[in-house]
């Protein structure tokens, strides 16, 4: 009995099962240093830069990060949950390097770049990492002190003993940090940071503002507040506490913060008696202290009872 030949199935009619989607698609740009194969959490910063790290390391010093992780995530990469952060990738990298114990020689108070200190404060303040924030605050308070004695003792910009390596435009960046802080931990640095800025030409401050905002990728919402206080402060300092223009126009009640006792000796010893020189120095010291005490009012700043957040 003959059997009819089976018809060949046309390829166009065959049912094709879809292939399984690949399980290890790289969705983001992996950070070159902070990508651990055995990590169990993916943090994704601005620019889609991803960090594969360990939840235990993040939770150890930050309740805020633990709360974020506890909320869970439906997105996965390589089987690990993805958590998207709004932070700059370099700031995230500096935070993670600290949490993982990189460069713990920071405790020796060696000089650090301003970009690192800024990242430490931003991330420590935002994610409540106390040691990270405190290290940054201690450094900034030495450079921008809240006492006249501290102002006299602070290291110069080019000193290797300055805990922060000075960079152009630092003053404006410090003011942005202070005004954006959710804890108010940097209130005390604002007056002297503004005072230092008054030594700039307005066009130079504008350049600093534009350059620093460009680095952050956005215009600071505090730009106008800083600019207004700069203009008000500069006017008040020049109008009320005129800075001595030459040795001959020195006035004992000048409220400039400049320390000029040595100059008083050099310029007055041939013109007046020693008691008069001593009196000029005494009035100069009193005037400097009065100027310091009036800085908050000069810059129209809110009076803060304490800038140390409650535990």
d(CA 177, CA 172) in angstroms, rounded, equals: 9
d(CA 127, CA 83) in angstroms, rounded, equals: 14
| Mean pLDDT score, 104-114 | 73
Express each pLDDT in 264-276 by its tens digit.
Answer: 776 776 777 888 8
Mean pLDDT is lowest, of 78-92, 152-166, 175-189, 244-258, for 244-258
Q: What is the pLDDT of residue 255?
A: 41
Band the pLDDT of 247: cuts 50, 70, 90.
very low
Q: What is the pLDDT of residue 23?
A: 41
Express each pLDDT in 30-70 by its tens digit.
Answer: 999 999 999 999 999 999 999 999 999 999 999 999 999 99
Q: What is the pLDDT of residue 218?
A: 61
Go through 108-133 and write b for each residue having 16 or more CB atoms within 10 A of its CB, e for each that does not. eeeebebbbbbbbbbbbbbbbbeebb
Q: Is the pLDDT of residue 103 over 80?
A: no
Q: Please state whether beta strands 41-45 and 29-35 pair in parallel, antiparallel, or not at all (unpaired).
A: unpaired
Q: What is the pLDDT of residue 106?
A: 52
Report which of residues 12 and 220 the model is more confident about: 220
Predicted TM-score (pTM) of this structure:
0.77
């Amino acid at each position: 009995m003959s059997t009819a030949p089976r018809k060949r199935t046309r390829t166009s009619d065959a049912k094709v099962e879809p292939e399984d989607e690949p399980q290890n698609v790289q969705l983001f740009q992996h950070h070159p240093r902070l990508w651990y194969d055995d990590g169990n959490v993916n943090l994704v910063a601005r620019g889609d830069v991803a960090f594969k790290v360990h939840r235990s390391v993040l939770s150890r010093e930050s309740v805020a990060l633990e709360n974020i992780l506890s909320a869970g995530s439906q997105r996965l990469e390589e089987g690990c949950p993805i958590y998207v952060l709004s932070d700059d990738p370099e700031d995230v990298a500096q935070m993670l390097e600290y949490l993982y114990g990189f460069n713990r020689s920071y405790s020796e108070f060696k000089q650090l770049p301003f970009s690192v200190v800024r990242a430490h404060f931003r991330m420590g303040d935002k994610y409540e990492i106390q040691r990270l924030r405190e290290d940054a605050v201690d450094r900034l308070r030495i450079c921008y002190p809240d006492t006249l004695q501290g102002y006299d003792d602070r290291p110069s910009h080019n000193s290797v003993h300055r805990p922060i390596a000075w960079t152009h435009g630092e003053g404006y960046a410090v003011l942005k940090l202070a005004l954006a802080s959710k804890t108010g931990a940097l209130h005390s640095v604002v007056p002297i940071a503004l005072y230092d800025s008054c030594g700039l030409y307005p066009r130079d401050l504008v350049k600093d503002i534009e350059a620093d905002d460009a680095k952050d990728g956005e215009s600071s919402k505090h730009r106008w507040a800083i600019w207004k206080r700069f203009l008000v402060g500069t006017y008040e300092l020049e109008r009320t506490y005129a800075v001595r223009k030459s040795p001959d126009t020195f006035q004992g009640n000048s409220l400039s913060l400049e320390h000029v006792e040595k100059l008083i000796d050099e310029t007055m010893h041939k013109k007046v008696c020693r008691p008069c020189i001593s009196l000029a120095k005494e009035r100069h010291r009193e005037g400097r202290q009065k100027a310091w005490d009036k800085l908050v009012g000069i810059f129209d700043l809110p009076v803060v009872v304490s800038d140390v957040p409650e535990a």
